[in-house]
Amino acid sequence: MKTPLFLLFLATSLGIATGASAQDVPTRASADAPPPRVGFQMALRTGYSVPMGHATGATGGEMSNGYSGQVPIFVEIGGKPIPNLFVGGYLGLGFGGAAGNFDMFCSAAGATCVAVDARLGAEIQYHMLPGQMANPWIGYGIGFESAGLGISVNGHSYNSTQTGFEFAHFMGGVDFRLSRAFGLGPFFGLSFGQYSRYHIEFPGLDTQEGDIAQTGTHEWLSVGVRGVFFP
């Protein structure tokens, strides 16, 4: 009988002999899957992101009063020192429209309004079955976030930006390893952050910037598809 994987992992970590054979190691490739690999890896993620929580702690500071759902594009670049472990960084850009009070203001002014979100950070992923055709994975990241609201009306442009720390970026999914060079599969992501600085620019007026007096915690929930190179 094969040793359960979690017992094998625990025993390996503690240096305990279990009598398990090399056949029990989860990195072993299945007959119809590419062999597990190490080295450079890159991935692209896209789908749909929903904002939640509060951009600030002030009244009306909910994310839903400024940001609608967005289409994100994430790039992950890094490497796998061992088949189960990916270490690297991510860069994400999200594009969407206005929502809530901001949307009502834009409609009343006859303005074109957009919302953009940018995220940059470091991440680590654990790949459970790197030698199989279907390889589930989970990950965690931390980084920096900048979100902006833009208004264009009568040939003039206005923008407001909030920046802060993204202190938790949970992610997971399944890579279907179609070849040694490419894989594809679904993913989900849930990030938590807090904006701490603001920057406002209006034509003809002085630029305003500073610390956000009443901070709040916000989240982005994302689902979509991930394409991975050299899975």
Nearest residue to 219 (alpha-carbon basis) of 48, 71, 52? 52
Q: Which two tokens stand for residue 74?
A: 């994430």
Pairing of strands 85-98, 112-127: antiparallel
Amino acid 29: pLDDT: 56
pLDDT tens for the chain, 231 residues: list them: 444 443 343 333 334 444 444 344 445 556 678 899 899 999 999 999 999 999 999 999 999 999 999 999 999 999 999 999 999 999 999 999 989 988 998 888 888 999 999 999 999 999 999 999 999 999 999 999 999 999 998 878 889 999 999 999 999 999 999 999 999 999 999 999 999 999 998 877 778 899 999 999 999 999 999 999 999
Domains of the chain: 1-30 (no CATH), 31-229 (2.40.160.20)
pLDDT for 28: 54
Contact between 78 and 112 under an 8 Å Cβ cutoff? The reply is: no
